[in-house]
């Protein structure tokens, strides 16, 4: 399958890339992880002005996928899936400000409930926000919440699509940074990117991401089940993170190195909005019913 964006979609993607590339999103993410939400909320407002919060209600899932791939590529923090994908569909209206949601069992905690203007469990507002729960991704601040709410299937699927696109964008960023690094790092007098083993490893990542991308847009167009997109993007992004860590060596483990922002985010997003096991079982159930 080959999907080609139209001129308006390409312009939208370019405008988001221009905004995010000039916003020092690494510094924004690090501040968010340290509990300083100020820079992140300023970026939130700028992205809202670009229409990101209205995509679920006023655009198509294709535009939403474009936006979330950009958010993943730049490691933008905040409850974007919740505010821009799930809640607008579940509530039937665009969300104003910052909102978040928990949806047990697949979304057991409310992301960034400490900075959200409104916290939901399903479609029900709650004021009972509990303790902070640790995440491998320090920019994902998870909170226990109290309340009951039934999931909305269409909203859940759109959130899964958004998460898949985020994984795709994060995987692309890790691959790009890894390719840049292996062209600069030398060992035994040669760039390490000249070694066949490293070329093959990075090529495998390129292939995995290229196979995942059509599933994202196929799911956005309703031609493919969104669970297939989530599984493929999770596998491809996770392969990108493991390969990126391998080619960077020991430096890739350090929190101070920017690559860690994407590696930890990928690991967290792999299980967000449904684990790989859940989505594989969902696909198997559908295949058995067909």
Question: How much is the pLDDT for 26?
Answer: 97
Percent of the chain with pLDDT over 70: 95
pTM over 0.85? The answer is: yes
**Beta-ladder partners of 100:** 119
Question: How much is the pLDDT for 270?
Answer: 97
8 A C-beta contact, residue 183 and residue 198: no
Closest CA to 21 of 92, 76, 90: 76
Domain membership of residue 227 (yes or no) is yes
- Structural domain total, the chain: 1
Question: How much is the pLDDT for 147?
Answer: 79
Q: How many CB atoms are located within 10 Å of the residue 225 CB? A: 19
Model confidence over 112-153: pLDDT tens digits? Answer: 999 999 999 998 999 889 999 989 999 999 999 987 778 899
Question: How much is the pLDDT for 261?
Answer: 95
Average pLDDT, the chain: 93
* The two three-digit tokens of residue 14, written as one number: 């370019």
Tell me whether residue 227 is exposed, middle or buried, using C-beta atoms within 10 angstroms of its C-beta: 0 to 12, 13 to 18, 19 or more: buried
Model confidence over 72-125: pLDDT tens digits? Answer: 999 999 999 999 999 999 999 999 999 999 999 999 999 999 999 999 999 899
8 A C-beta contact, residue 81 and residue 265: no
8 A C-beta contact, residue 199 and residue 268: no
Domain membership of residue 118 (yes or no) is no
Domain membership of residue 235 (yes or no) is yes
Is the backbone peptide bond immediately before 105 cis, with ω within 30 degrees of 0?
yes
DSSP string, 115-150: T-SEEEETTEEE--EEEEE--SSTT--EEEE----P
Domain membership of residue 251 (yes or no) is yes
Full residue range of the structural domain in which residue 187 is found: 153-289
Mean pLDDT of 231-247: 96
Q: What is the CATH number of the domain that holds 248?
A: 1.20.140.10
């Amino acid at each position: 399958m080959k999907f080609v964006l139209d001129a308006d979609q390409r312009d939208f993607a370019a405008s988001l890339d221009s905004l995010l590339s000039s916003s020092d999103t690494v510094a924004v993410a690090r501040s968010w992880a340290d509990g300083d939400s100020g820079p992140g909320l300023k970026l939130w407002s700028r992205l809202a002005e670009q229409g990101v919060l209205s995509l679920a209600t006023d655009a198509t899932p294709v535009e939403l996928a474009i936006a979330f791939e950009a958010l993943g590529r730049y490691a933008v923090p905040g409850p974007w899936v919740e505010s821009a994908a799930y809640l607008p569909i579940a509530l039937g209206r665009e969300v104003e400000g910052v909102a978040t949601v928990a949806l047990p069992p697949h979304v057991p905690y409310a992301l960034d409930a400490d900075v959200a203007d409104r916290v939901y469990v399903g479609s029900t507002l709650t004021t009972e926000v509990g303790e902070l729960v640790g995440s491998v991704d320090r920019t994902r601040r998870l909170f226990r919440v109290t309340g009951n709410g039934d999931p909305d299937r269409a909203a859940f699927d759109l959130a899964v699509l958004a998460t898949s696109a985020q994984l795709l964008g994060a995987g692309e960023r890790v691959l790009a940074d890894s390719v840049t690094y292996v062209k600069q790092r030398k060992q035994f007098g040669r760039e390490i990117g000249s070694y066949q083993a490293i070329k093959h490893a990075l090529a495998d990542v390129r292939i995995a991401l290229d196979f995942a991308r059509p599933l994202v847009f196929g799911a956005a167009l309703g031609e493919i089940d969104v669970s297939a997109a989530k599984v493929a993007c999770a596998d491809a992004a996770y392969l990108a993170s493991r390969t990126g860590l391998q080619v960077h060596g020991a430096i890739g483990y350090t929190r101070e190195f920017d690559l860690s922002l994407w590696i930890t985010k990928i690991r967290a997003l792999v299980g967000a909005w449904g684990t790989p096991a859940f989505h594989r079982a969902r696909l198997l159930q559908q295949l058995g019913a067909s």
